Amino acid sequence: MQAVTGWMKGNLVIVVCVVVIIGAPAGLWYVSSGLSEELLVKVKKRGGQLDKLASAGKAQFAWPGSSDSVQVIVTPDLVAAYQQQASTLQGQADDIVSEANTRNKAGFENPFPELLPYPSADTWMTLTQQGRDAELFQALQIEPERMHARLMELYDALLKELNAGDPPDPVKVKAQLALVRADSILGGSNEQSLDEDERKELDRKLADKRLQMYIEAAEWIGIYLTPSTLEPPNFAKTDTPDHQTIARWMWRYWVLQRLVAGIQTANDQGQNETEVAIKRLDRIDVRGLLEMQTPSAGDRSFAKGAGDGNRGGGRGGGTGGNNGGGSSPPRGGPGGPPRGPSGGGPPAGPSGGPGGGGSSGGFGGPVGPAAPAPGTTDRSKSVTGRITNQLYDVVLVDLDMIVATDRLDTVLTAFSKPIETAVLDVVVEPIDSFEDLKQGYYYGSGSMSRVVLTVETIWLRQWTQSHLPDGVRSTLGFAPRQYPASASDNGAVPGGPPGRPGMPGRPVSPGQPG
């Protein structure tokens, strides 16, 4: 035992190593077991913290313009990519809006800059309400007659663009036939002395001469269309139009411009009336002009059926009133009394007339019913569902035409232009071309049809609003025009005509006592 102890003392390193080798499995298992439990607790704790961080950094994400979303961790790189794509899409949207407005307003100009949207006075925007009403009153005494004369020239220009014309004058036809008749009766005898064969020969010559005159007239024109069919507004010095009526003149002329463009598109392959698609335009009715409420496509003022006995035959014009507005409401707005000098009261000024509402965002800015939200639709009105809203105005036009039956698709395409027009309804009925020929209308060969179209015209407000007077803007739900806060009336009723402070009155002309 002493020898063993001595050996162990002499070989202490070997003894220690042997003890460690023998005790390691049990000792290390005990130590590692404790370490594993401690490590597991730390790992779980760290995992919980990471889960919280991951949850806090996640969000529902969708790329601009996409409806599909996923849950992701929002990072600076993702935010930068989103902003880049949003900026790109915004730029594309701006380009589309700009192009749409460029196309929608192309060729349309304000024919009455002296009065629309207000008298061309340098100080107009800084005048008080009384001053603006007085300025407008003076302008309405001198400008409308000149404007009406200018408008009639514009209407004539539309007819010239289409090379529009009438059948031969019946009086001239009768005179020419009388000459043929006289030349055919030999020896000074009268018609009763002709035998049956001579009478038949005379009838043939008369028919040939009549047809020849009809054909020659048709070859000189592009479409049968008369000035009365366009229904230009009437004018009388005893019934001076008000500010809103002048605006109606302008906008209705714009509508006719758009229709003439459609007719030109449909007829561009023809040199004369016998070759074009649209042979004759009998009636036009403009609906929804300067109205907030868009009419239904099917509520036409003239009948759909062939039994409509009031058809004008190209000579009588349509159903519109003196203001050239078709079935539009009387001056002064829907349901309101006439305004302006013709109505026996003060003119409708920027506020829309006496008691025309208070200010909103600027003195003199009238407050009317708000237009529907941008892009609002109503499928009960038409197949497109488009109605007047804060983005655009919808004006409907009914057209009663004679069309070459095999060119109907050309006509429908011509009146279907993005951002401009769309065909809402079409009625097609056969006609007897020989019956129309008796009245002087020669259409050429082929089958003809009577076509009634209801066309939707679109007017983007981004450009139209700058031409409209405040009264019209209020009626259509535009935002009020802004006037400087300094333009006050020192106690006069906001929105009322000029007069004594706090009391309505009539405009005072220069040199007249107040």
Contacts of 259 (CB under 8 A, 6+ apart): 284, 397, 399, 455, 457
pLDDT tens by residue, 464-512:
999 999 999 999 999 888 888 766 555 443 443 443 333 333 343 333 3
Confidence of residue 318 (pLDDT cuts 50, 70, 90): very low
- Decide: 297 and 454 in contact? Cβ < 8 Å: yes
Sign of the torsion angle spanned by Cα atoms 213, 218, 220, 223:
positive
pLDDT tens by residue, 220-258:
999 999 999 999 999 998 888 999 999 999 999 999 999
94: left (phi over 0), alpha (psi -120 to 50) or beta: alpha
Contacts of 414 (CB under 8 A, 6+ apart): 262, 263, 265, 266, 277
pLDDT of residue 26: 62
pLDDT at 1 over 80: no
pTM above 0.95, yes or no: no
Q: Are strands 392-404 and 278-287 parallel, antiparallel or unpaired?
A: antiparallel
Please report which residue ranges of 357-432 form alpha helices under DSSP H: 408-414
Segments making up each domain of the chain, as ranges: 115-163+221-305+312-318+374-465
Q: What is the mean pLDDT of the chain?
A: 79
pLDDT at 27 over 60: yes
pLDDT at 162 over 50: yes
* Cα–Cα distance measured from residue 428 to residue 331, given in angstroms and rounded to the nearest whole number: 35
* Cα–Cα distance measured from residue 373 to residue 426, given in angstroms and rounded to the nearest whole number: 29
Q: What is the mean pLDDT of residues 423-435?
A: 94
Cβ contacts of 382-390, under 8 Å, gap ≥ 24: 382/296, 382/297, 382/424, 382/425, 382/456, 383/297, 383/424, 383/425, 384/422, 384/424, 384/456, 386/294, 386/422, 386/456, 386/458, 387/294, 388/288, 388/291, 388/292, 388/293, 388/294, 388/476, 390/461, 390/477
Burial 33-46 (b: 16+ CB within 10 A, else e): eeeeeeeeeeeeee
pLDDT of residue 331: 34
Q: Which of helix, strand or coil describes residue 456?
A: strand
SS (H, E, C) 12-67: HHHHHHHHHHHHHHHHHHHHHHHHHHHHHHHHHHHHHHHHHHHHHHEEEECCCCCC
More confident residue, 34 or 352: 34
pLDDT at 69 over 90: no
* Cα–Cα distance measured from residue 468 to residue 249, given in angstroms and rounded to the nearest whole number: 12
pLDDT at 135 over 60: yes
pLDDT of residue 188: 52
Q: What is the mean pLDDT of residues 449-456?
A: 96
pLDDT of residue 50: 66
Confidence of residue 45 (pLDDT cuts 50, 70, 90): confident
- Decide: 462 and 101 in contact? Cβ < 8 Å: yes
The angle at the Cα of 453, spanning 452 to 458, to the nearest 5 degrees, equals 160
pLDDT of residue 334: 35
Q: Lowest mean pLDDT: which of 37-46, 59-68, 223-232, 395-404?
A: 37-46
